[in-house]
């Protein structure tokens, strides 16, 4: 393959600034790219992402248009206008949107406006899961438009790429570029580790669940698993995050366990401080395109006990970095946990293997794939990603 000479590229990253895998990946990607000599990166959004600060990446803030004529603020229109402004102000070559709807759709609208102004940009769309399986199903025409019109489309797992093609009957090339984690910085330093003595008794295991408490996360199953485990192993459960079903989960927790064993911590800025002292991560989702929380847990040597759905088996290796069970099979998942902690050799071995497997997703291995894609887009006059080679 002919080597592509590197040129200076200006990139705008658009994603959700709030808690969630797509926002974390977009933020960490921006942080990593900002350190490259041949790349200028700008974050475009309604708010500054929780994983970044002003010293990391320049920020172009979007203000929603609020007019008395309309009942709701014109957020989507403002997003389009904000992208147009950012492209002109920062002389951007590429807009990299995480989530097809609304971010990639807005970027494509901005691209059309800019084209009429004589400014040409490329749009890279990264699919994360909810945009494909939920938002896209509700807005299939919009989703199809994004897939067909983006200059390049990537997905965070092979499973998500396959599902996208099947659901939307598209032959467009979708590159698989996995989520990643920065292992160059000492994880313990980033975690600002808590003392497990302040959270659990010396004989108690600490289990963690991290999610946005939507129905697809099946948090009730996490509580059922923990209830079974708690009867056999002294332990506590830390639930991190917030969302529409958190009150239901709180009610269920009272019926199956005492308040002394289940703790709802809400949204936390730095989940690493809890993963760093955890003994296990419990994931009971109906679907996960990748599960960034699982990768972050593995980086700390924390085994992941999860449902075998979506892209999960591309991240977690059964019996090596965790255990996988069928969706809804809380009995098997709890048995895996109880058996695992009954053997000290298993605990030591899996901790080591989890860390090793996490290295496969280190930023320095994954992000260069995005860099190559960017260089291809600015080096060749292509309008469709089918002209660029990639996975699936």
Identify which has the larger pLDDT, 383 or 98. 98
Residue 92 Cα distances to 105, 119, 206, 275, 350, angstroms = 17, 10, 46, 37, 45
Q: In this predicted model, what pLDDT tens digit does every residue of 279-301 receive, in sequence order?
A: 999 999 999 999 999 999 999 99
pLDDT value at 194 more than 70? no
Residues 326-332 have a mean pLDDT of 97
Residue 202: per-residue pLDDT: 83
Residue 16: pLDDT band (50, 70, 90) is confident
Q: How far apart are CA 130 and CA 46, in angstroms?
A: 20
Identify which has the larger pLDDT, 15 or 351. 351
Q: Find how far residue 140's CA is from the centre of its chain.
A: 22
Residue 359: per-residue pLDDT: 96
Residue 387: per-residue pLDDT: 46
pLDDT value at 158 more than 90? yes
Residues 328-343 have a mean pLDDT of 96
Residue 11: per-residue pLDDT: 97
**Average pLDDT over all residues of the chain:** 88
Residue 314: per-residue pLDDT: 97
Residue 196: pLDDT band (50, 70, 90) is low
Given the structure tokens 């600034």, which residue do they identify? Answer: 17
- Of the candidates 348, 334, 303, the one whose C-alpha atom is nearest the C-alpha of residue 232 is 334
Q: In this predicted model, what pLDDT tens digit does every residue of 43-100 receive, in sequence order?
A: 998 877 766 666 678 888 888 777 666 666 667 888 999 999 999 999 999 999 999 9
Of 2-16, 130-144, 325-339, the least confident: 2-16
Question: C-alpha angle with apex 247: 24 to 193, nearest 5 degrees?
Answer: 45
Residue 381: per-residue pLDDT: 52
Residue 176: pLDDT band (50, 70, 90) is very high
Q: Quote the percentage of the chain above a pLDDT of 90.
A: 66
Residue 383: per-residue pLDDT: 46
Residue 299 Cα distances to 145, 184, 310, 312, 368, angstroms = 37, 11, 21, 15, 20
Residue 184: per-residue pLDDT: 75
pLDDT value at 207 more than 90? yes
**Complete domains list, the chain, with CATH:** 9-180+362-387 (3.40.50.2000), 187-361 (3.40.50.2000)
Residue 382: per-residue pLDDT: 46
Residues 125-139 have a mean pLDDT of 92
Q: In this predicted model, what pLDDT tens digit does every residue of 309-327 receive, in sequence order?
A: 999 999 999 999 999 999 9
Residues 173-183 have a mean pLDDT of 94
Which helix (DSSP H) or strand (DSSP E) does residue 369 occupy? Answer: helix 363-379
Angle between helix axes 75-90 and 105-116 (nearest 10 degrees) is 50
Residue 350: per-residue pLDDT: 95
pTM (whole model) above 0.85: yes
Identify which has the larger pLDDT, 54 or 129. 129
Residue 191: per-residue pLDDT: 60
Residue 386: pLDDT band (50, 70, 90) is very low
| Contact (Cβ atoms closer than 8 angstroms) between residue 237 and residue 226 | yes
Residues 98-111 have a mean pLDDT of 95
| Contact (Cβ atoms closer than 8 angstroms) between residue 181 and residue 362 | yes
Q: In this predicted model, what pLDDT tens digit does every residue of 339-369 receive, in sequence order?
A: 999 988 889 999 999 999 999 999 999 999 9
Identify which has the larger pLDDT, 127 or 53. 127
Residue 328: per-residue pLDDT: 95
SS (H, E, C) 172-240: CCCEECCCCECCCCCHHHHHCCCCHHHCCCCCCEEEEEECCCCHHHCHHHHHHHHHHHHHHCCEEEEEE
pLDDT value at 259 more than 80? no
């Amino acid at each position: 393959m002919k080597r592509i000479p590197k040129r200076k590229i200006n990139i705008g990253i658009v994603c959700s600034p709030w808690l969630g895998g797509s926002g974390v990946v977009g933020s960490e990607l921006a942080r990593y790219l900002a350190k490259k000599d041949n790349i200028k990166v700008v974050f475009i959004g309604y708010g500054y992402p929780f994983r970044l600060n002003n010293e990391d990446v320049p920020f172009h803030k979007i203000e929603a248009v609020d007019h008395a004529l309309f009942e709701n603020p014109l957020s989507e229109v403002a997003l389009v206008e904000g992208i147009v402004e950012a492209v002109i102000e920062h002389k951007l070559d590429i807009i990299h949107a995480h989530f097809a709807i609304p971010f990639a759709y807005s970027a494509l609208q901005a691209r059309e406006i800019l084209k009429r102004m004589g400014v040409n940009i490329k749009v890279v769309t990264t699919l994360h899961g909810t945009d494909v399986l939920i938002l896209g199903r509700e807005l299939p025409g919009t989703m199809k438009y994004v897939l067909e019109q983006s200059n390049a489309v990537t997905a965070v797992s092979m499973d998500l790429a396959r599902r996208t093609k099947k659901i939307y009957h598209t032959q467009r090339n979708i590159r698989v570029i996995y989520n990643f984690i920065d292992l160059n910085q000492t994880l313990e330093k980033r975690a600002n580790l808590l003392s497990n003595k302040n959270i659990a008794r010396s004989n108690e295991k600490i289990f963690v669940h991290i999610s946005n408490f939507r129905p697809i996360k099946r948090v009730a199953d996490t509580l059922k698993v923990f209830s079974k485990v708690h009867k056999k192993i002294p332990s506590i459960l830390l639930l991190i995050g917030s969302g529409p079903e958190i009150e239901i989960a709180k009610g269920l927790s009272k019926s199956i366990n005492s308040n002394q064993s289940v703790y709802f911590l809400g949204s936390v800025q730095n989940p690493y401080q809890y993963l760093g002292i955890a003994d296990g991560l419990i994931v009971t989702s109906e679907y996960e395109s990748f599960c960034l929380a699982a990768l972050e847990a593995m980086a700390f040597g924390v085994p992941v006990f999860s449902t075998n759905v979506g892209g999960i088996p591309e991240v977690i290796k059964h019996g090596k970095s965790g255990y996988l069970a069928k969706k809804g099979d809380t009995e098997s998942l709890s048995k895996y946990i109880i058996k695992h902690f009954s053997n000290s050799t298993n605990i030591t071995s899996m901790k080591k293997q989890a860390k090793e497997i996490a290295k496969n997703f280190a930023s320095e291995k994954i992000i260069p794939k995005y860099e190559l894609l960017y260089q291809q887009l600015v080096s060749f006059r292509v309008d469709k990603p089918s002209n660029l080679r990639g996975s699936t």
